[in-house]
């Protein structure tokens, strides 16, 4: 798998930017097989636990949102914004264990992208699944959304 360079200019992203001192600094890779997927391998610190040693569901949801955004951008070469995210928690995901997050585009309907993703534990068991919908937007509109002039 080959790492994907970060295409986003801002250094603020909690999930994907090295420059964020409290961020996760995630690095995404693209598979070399079909269907094309983006993959993240990561081990969560105990700082991200919810109850006990279970990775907080909000962090899991954030991982899905991040990898889906990257998948949309990388595979369509267009910017996308989240319009829906549905997460299904099947088994606990534990901190201090390697996990793998995978995402692929399931279908496209014009400017709407439908994605599927899953988190697997270090034994390869699917623990969490997600489906997401992203709307493609042109770069000017995207930049106005993320950096509004009237804030």
Is 27's pLDDT higher than 90? no
Residue reference for tokens 């993320």: 146
Q: What distance in Å separates the CA atoms of residue 151 and residue 100, rounded to the nearest whole number?
A: 37
Exposed/middle/buried for residue 28 (C-beta within 10 Å: 0-12, 13-18, 19+): buried
Q: What distance in Å separates the CA atoms of residue 58 and residue 56, rounded to the nearest whole number?
A: 5
Whether residue 38 contacts residue 103, with contact meaning beta carbons closer than 8 Å, is answered with yes
Looking at residue 140, what is its pLDDT?
77
Q: How far is CA 2 from CA 28, 29, 76, 95, in A?
A: 8, 5, 18, 25
Lookup: tokens for 151: 């804030």
Is 151's pLDDT higher than 60? no
**7 within some domain:** yes
**35 within some domain:** yes
Q: What distance in Å separates the CA atoms of residue 136 and residue 146, rounded to the nearest whole number?
A: 14
Looking at residue 137, what is its pLDDT?
93
pTM: 0.89
Mean pLDDT of 32-43: 92
Q: How many domains does the chain have?
A: 1
127: left (phi over 0), alpha (psi -120 to 50) or beta: alpha
Is 9's pLDDT higher than 70? no
Looking at residue 116, what is its pLDDT?
98
Bridge partners (DSSP) listed for residue 11: none
Q: What is the pLDDT of residues 86-132, one digit of tens each?
A: 999 999 999 999 999 999 999 999 999 999 999 999 999 999 999 99
Whether residue 14 contacts residue 22, with contact meaning beta carbons closer than 8 Å, is answered with yes
**88 within some domain:** yes
Q: Look up the domain containing 30 and give its range.
A: 2-146
Q: What distance in Å separates the CA atoms of residue 42 and residue 11, rounded to the nearest whole number?
A: 20
The CATH number that applies at residue 127 is: 3.10.129.10
**151 within some domain:** no
Q: What is the pLDDT of residues 46-98, one digit of tens each?
A: 999 999 999 999 999 999 999 999 999 999 999 999 999 999 999 999 999 99
Lowest-pLDDT range of 4-8, 24-28, 99-103, 106-110? 4-8
Looking at residue 148, what is its pLDDT?
60
């Amino acid at each position: 798998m080959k790492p994907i360079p970060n295409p986003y200019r801002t250094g603020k992203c909690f999930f994907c930017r090295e420059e964020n001192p409290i961020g996760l600094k995630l690095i995404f890779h693209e598979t070399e097989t079909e269907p094309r997927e983006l993959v993240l391998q990561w081990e969560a610190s105990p700082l991200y636990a919810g109850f006990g040693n279970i990775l907080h569901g909000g962090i899991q949801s954030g991982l899905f949102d991040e990898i889906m955004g990257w998948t949309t951008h990388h595979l369509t070469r267009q910017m996308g914004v989240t319009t829906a995210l549905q997460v299904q928690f099947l088994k606990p995901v534990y901190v201090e264990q390697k996990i793998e997050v995978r995402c692929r585009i399931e279908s496209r309907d014009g400017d709407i992208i439908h994605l599927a993703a899953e988190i697997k534990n270090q034994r390869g068991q699917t623990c969490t699944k997600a489906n997401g919908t992203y709307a493609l937007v042109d770069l000017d509109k995207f930049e106005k959304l993320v950096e509004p002039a009237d804030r």
